[in-house]
Structure 1
Amino acid sequence: MVRWISLFVVVLVIGFFAYIKINNRPPEGLGVTAELLKPCPTSPNCVSSQAEKSDAAHYIEPIIYHGSRMDTQLSIESYFLNQGNAQIINSQLGYVHIQVKSRYLGFIDDVEFYLPEADSIVDVRSASRVGYSDLDVNRDRIEKLRSYLAH
């Protein structure tokens, strides 16, 4: 009996990690199109400064910055690289796509920043690739960055 339970647990664990690997592919449509980041899905594991303000589950204030656009973007990039669990996927002046991997299970979140040339704001989108809820991990990530940039 114990042997069957052990085998069942092993199969569940292998299945779980296979599911994560298969469903942890980069989403299509990331980037900036007509000055807009990809909209959040309906699940509450994404925040975006371009969501409707009335959408409390997804909306987050854009980051206001002082100083140069390039310095702000470099600060964002270095902040994430110093975390030790992030990788820059795409960086060009005005846009950054960073993948952040969770420390224990290896879930990947896609974090995007758009710095329009005409404004001193950073539009943000931070979204989990898998799952439904993220326990506010994406919102907390952006708020910590906001605090970091304010200093």
Structure 2
Amino acid sequence: MASPTTCLYHHKCRRKLVFYARRISASIPETSYDKHPKLIGRRYIILRSSELAMIGAIFQLSGKKPDYLGVQKNERLALCPATNNCISTSENISDRVHYAPPWNYNGGRKTPVNRQVAMKELLNVIKSVKPDKFTPRIVEKKDDYVHVEYESPILGLVDDVEFLFTPGKNSKVEYRSASRKGNFDFDVNRKRIKALRQELEKKGWVSENSF
């Protein structure tokens, strides 16, 4: 069987996904919707969501947490792989695919706040903002670092998002957002970071430049 990463893009493996979906559908008794037409849409959605969730579990689409996550030896976050499903403030500014500008949590305030206050603001925004309907789960938190796993609502795909409050008094926050599986993310990671940043801007955070 192909690996979960290859599976999404390989025609033979896609046929297996369809095969499993049909088997799951066949295992559920047919129900007459003639008497309950209003339930068709809701039951159809529930059925399809259950099928996709089962497929995600079978092929372990959540993936394994990369070993290289966390603060690197140069006191920055990791660079992105060659795939187009990751953005990072650690990338070179000339890399338009992977680079994203860092944030400053005091750049838009009249009265500066300390790191502890800024960290609380960040955590609250992470918990409340779900632009892609992925479920955020904070798996690691330190005084200057946060690692969040964002899980998709159906297939259980997981993206790793990290935030790092850099040393010193510059109020700078770096971040990295990357999908564990696939080669493309259809800008999901970039849109997620943008949504978080726009919410933080209401509290006085700013970006080096908008994107």
| TM-score using structure 2 length | 0.63
CA change 1:58–1:76 in 2 (3 A) is same
> Residue 9 of structure 1 is aligned with which of 3, 7, 18?
18
Paired position in structure 2 for 1:24: 63
TM norm structure 1: 0.85
Q: Identify unmatched segments of 5+ residues in structure 2.
A: 1-15, 22-51, 107-112, 203-211
Relative to 1, partners in 2 of residues 1:114 and 1:24: Cα closer, same or farther, differing over 3 Å? Answer: same
Q: Distance in 1 between matches of 2:122 and 2:17?
A: 44
* Aligned counterpart in structure 2 of residue 113 of structure 1, from 163, 169, 172: 163
Structure-to-structure mapping, 1:1-151, within 5 angstroms? 9-11=18-20, 17-19=57-59, 21=60, 24-33=63-72, 34-66=74-106, 67-83=113-129, 85-118=135-168, 119-151=170-202
TM superposition shift of 1:83 = 4.2
**Correspondence for 2:205:** none
AA partner of residue 29 (structure 1): Y
Amino acid at match of 1:52: N
Matched length: 145
Q: Helix, strand or coil: the match of 1:89?
A: strand
Report SS of the residue matched to 1:42.
coil
* Shift in CA distance, 62/8, structure 1 to aligned 2, threshold 3 Å: closer
Q: Which runs of 4+ in 1 moved over 4 A?
A: 12-17
Structure number, greater radius of gyration: 2
**Cross-structure match for 1:4:** none
Alignment root-mean-square deviation, CA: 2.3
CA distance change for structure 1 residues 16 and 107 in 2, over 3 Å: closer, same or farther?
Answer: closer
CA distance in 2, matches of 1:132, 1:100: 17
Change (3 A) 1:115 1:103: same
Return 5+ residue gaps in structure 1 as ranges. Answer: 1-6
User: Which residue identity lines up with residue 131 of structure 1 in the other structure?
Assistant: G
- Deviation (angstroms), 1:69: 1.3
Distance in 2, matches of 1:106 and 1:75, equals 27
3-state SS of 1:98 partner: strand
